[in-house]
Structure 1
Amino acid sequence: MIEIRIPKEIKNYREKLFFGLTLRQCICTAIALLICVPIYIFGNRFLPQEAVSWVVILIAVPLMFTGFFRYNDMAFEQFALEIIRFYTSPQQRIYSYEPPFMELRNGYMTEELITETEEKKSRKKRLFRKK
């Protein structure tokens, strides 16, 4: 009998393409290979092997994180943006209190003001009407 593994949450399902990797992972791996292999091959002519290896690692790690890293259903770039926003935005929150019924009161006051102005206009019209 054929058994199929079904994830508990449907959003967790990722379709696998090649070697058990998703399309995003395959693309990021291919980009990392296309960039890093030529750098390593041609970089050995100009720099020592250890320096070229570190350059390749520093280039490959962000690309691989982009493809493989997920945290709370966020991709790496979304997670990185949230971290940047967290550290660049003010951490001390400004406390401001607005009473719960202030919006209702403001609405009532504007309605009352509108009716008063309409009444004044109608009174002026009555006073200046020719008889």
Structure 2
Amino acid sequence: MAYVPVPKDLTAVKTKVLFNLTKRQLVCFSGGALVGVPLFFLLKGPAGFSAGAASLCMVLVMLPFFLTAVYEKNGLPMEKIVRNIFRVLFLRPKQRPYQTNNYYAVLARQSQLDKEVRRIVGKKAKTGCEAVIVPRREASDRSRRRKGPADR
């Protein structure tokens, strides 16, 4: 009786369409053939290349298509790997500083504002003025404010 090995992870199974190739492989191989075969005949005839040189040029032109169809590392296809390398080398900054949310600095800034408000209120009370100016909190301070029992 014939046995067929069944992989434990079924997400790695790819459906085959034609000639035991996936749709992706079929598209890449046919794209390589559409570019490489006419190039071979163009180089062999009018350009004066020998058959060996023309076939070598054809293979070099078709190689990226074949790599795109077959090569896969850590579940990523070739074009995603090339895109990630391009992003790292050219688009992203070389130095990425480590940044944190410093809650102590927010509390210290709030304490300074509270002291300033108390100082202003104390001056206004001595002069008899009724208007009290309360400095506005920054957006970052407002979002990190602790909720009291009345806010819940």
> Which bin holds the TM-score, normalised by the shorter protein?
0.7 to 0.9
Which ranges of structure 2 fall in alignment gaps of 5 or more residues?
131-152
Matched residue, 2:60: 58
Matched residue, 1:26: 26
Could you tell me which of 49, 66, 71 is aligned with 1:69? 71
Distance in structure 2 (CA, Å) of the matches to 1:123 and 1:4: 86
Structure 2 residue 37 is matched with structure 1 residue 37: yes
Matched residue, 1:121: 120
Matched residue, 1:9: 9
Distance in structure 1 (CA, Å) of the matches to 2:5 and 2:119: 75
Q: In structure 2, give the amino acid aligned to 1:12.
A: A
| Deviation per residue, 1:24-73 (Å, 9 max, x gap) | 11100010011111111222111222221121111111111111110001
Q: Secondary structure at the match of 1:40?
A: helix
Matched residue, 1:104: 103
Matched residue, 2:139: none
In the superposition, the TM-score normalised over structure 1's length comes to 0.72
Q: In structure 1, give the amino acid aligned to 2:108.
A: M
Calculate percent identity across the aligned residue pairs.
19
In the superposition, the TM-score normalised over structure 2's length comes to 0.64
Figure out how many residues of one structure are paired with residues of the other and give that number: 126
Which ranges of structure 1 fall in alignment gaps of 5 or more residues?
none
RMSD of the alignment, in Å?
A: 3.4
Q: Residue 86 and residue 40 in structure 1: after superposition, are their counterparts in 2 closer, same or farther (change >3 A)?
A: same
Kindly indicate which of the two structures has a greater share of residues assigned to helix: 1
Distance in structure 2 (CA, Å) of the matches to 1:124 and 1:19: 89
Distance in structure 2 (CA, Å) of the matches to 1:109 and 1:60: 64
Matched residue, 2:50: 48
Q: Which moved more, 1:80-89 or 1:60-69?
A: 80-89
Larger radius of gyration, structure 1 or 2? 2
Q: Residue 94 and residue 78 in structure 1: after superposition, are their counterparts in 2 closer, same or farther (change >3 A)?
A: closer
Q: Residue 107 and residue 52 in structure 1: after superposition, are their counterparts in 2 closer, same or farther (change >3 A)?
A: same
Measured after TM superposition, the shift of residue 128 of structure 1 is 4.7
Q: Residue 77 and residue 118 in structure 1: after superposition, are their counterparts in 2 closer, same or farther (change >3 A)?
A: same
Distance in structure 2 (CA, Å) of the matches to 1:78 and 1:8: 26
Distance in structure 1 (CA, Å) of the matches to 2:10 and 2:74: 15
